[in-house]
Structure 1
Amino acid sequence: MPRTLEPAEVWTTESGAPERLVWRARRYRVDDTPTPLVGPADWWLPFDGHDVAPGRPPLAITGWRFQASTADGETHVFDVGHDGSHWHVLRVFD
C-alpha cells in the first residue's frame, strides 16, 4: 500500500464528501460512494493516555476513501485527508 502524501485539489458536497479531485494535473470524478476514514477526535488527544472505560475515545472523520476516474478511463482508489488548509492524497491503490 504505497503512501504518497501529495497535494491535491478536492471539491466536496455540502456534507463534506469528495466529488471531484485534481491530482498530478489530472481531473478525476468520484464514481462511487466515499467512505469516511475515522480516527480519534483532535480535541481528545490531550486525554489519549487515559482509560476511557466504558467505551472508547470519540471519533472524527480524518479523511475519505473513494474510487475516482478520469474522462479517458484511468481509475484509482484514493485515500485523501485535509490538514485544516490543504487536501492531500495519502494513498493510491491501483
Structure 2
Amino acid sequence: MSATEIERDLTIWMVDDIPQRMFYAGRRWRITDIPTRLRDSIWSAAPGRAVGLYGWRFQATDEGGESYVFDVFKAETGWHVHHAWS
C-alpha cells in the first residue's frame, strides 16, 4: 500500500449528507464502502500548521476498476483530498 499526501480540489456528490460519488484528478469515482465521518479531527493542512477539519474517509473506485482510500476535508474553498492510499 502506498500513501500520497496531496491537496487537490475535487467535487463530491452527497446523498443524505453522505458522499456517494466524486470527480477527482480527471476521473469519475464511486464510493464503494461505507464512508467514515472524520469530525473534530486534527490534520496537518500545511507543514507546521494544524487545523481542525471536517471530512470523510472512504474507498472509491474509478471507471477502470482502480480503487483508493481517500481522506477528504472541506475547507473554505471547497472539498480537498488530504491523503490517498492505493
Instruction: Provide the TM-score with structure 1 as the length reference.
Output: 0.71
Structure with higher helix content = 1
**Ranges of 4+ aligned residues in structure 1 off by more than 6 Å:** none
- Secondary structure (helix, strand or coil) at the match of 2:34 reads coil
In structure 1, distance between residues paired with 2:12 and 2:28:
10
2:71 is equivalent to residue 88 of structure 1: no
Which deviations, in whole Å up to 9, do the C-alpha atoms of 1:16-59 show, x marking residues without a partner?
2110011111000001000011216xxxxxxxxxxxxxxxxxxx
Which 5+ residue runs of structure 1 have no aligned equivalent? Answer: 41-59
RMSD across aligned C-alpha pairs, in angstroms?
A: 1.8
Report the secondary structure of 2:7's partner residue.
strand
Between the two proteins, the alignment pairs up a number of residues equal to 74
2:54 is aligned to 62
Unaligned residue ranges in structure 2 (runs of 5+) = 42-51
Which residue number corresponds to residue 44 of structure 2?
A: none
* Partner Cα distance (2:20, 2:60) in 1: 9
Aligned counterparts of 2:64 and 2:14: Cα–Cα separation in 1: 22
Query: In the alignment, residue 12 of structure 1 is paired with which amino acid?
Result: M
Larger radius of gyration: 1
* TM-score calculated relative to the size of structure 2: 0.77
Give, in whole Å, the separation in 2 of the partners of 1:38 and 1:2.
21
Partner residue of 2:68? 76
From the two aligned structures, give the one with the greater strand fraction. Answer: 2
Contact 1:19-1:30 at 8 Å conserved across structures = yes
Percent sequence identity is 34
Preserved contact between residue 53 and residue 74 of structure 2 (Cα < 8 Å): no
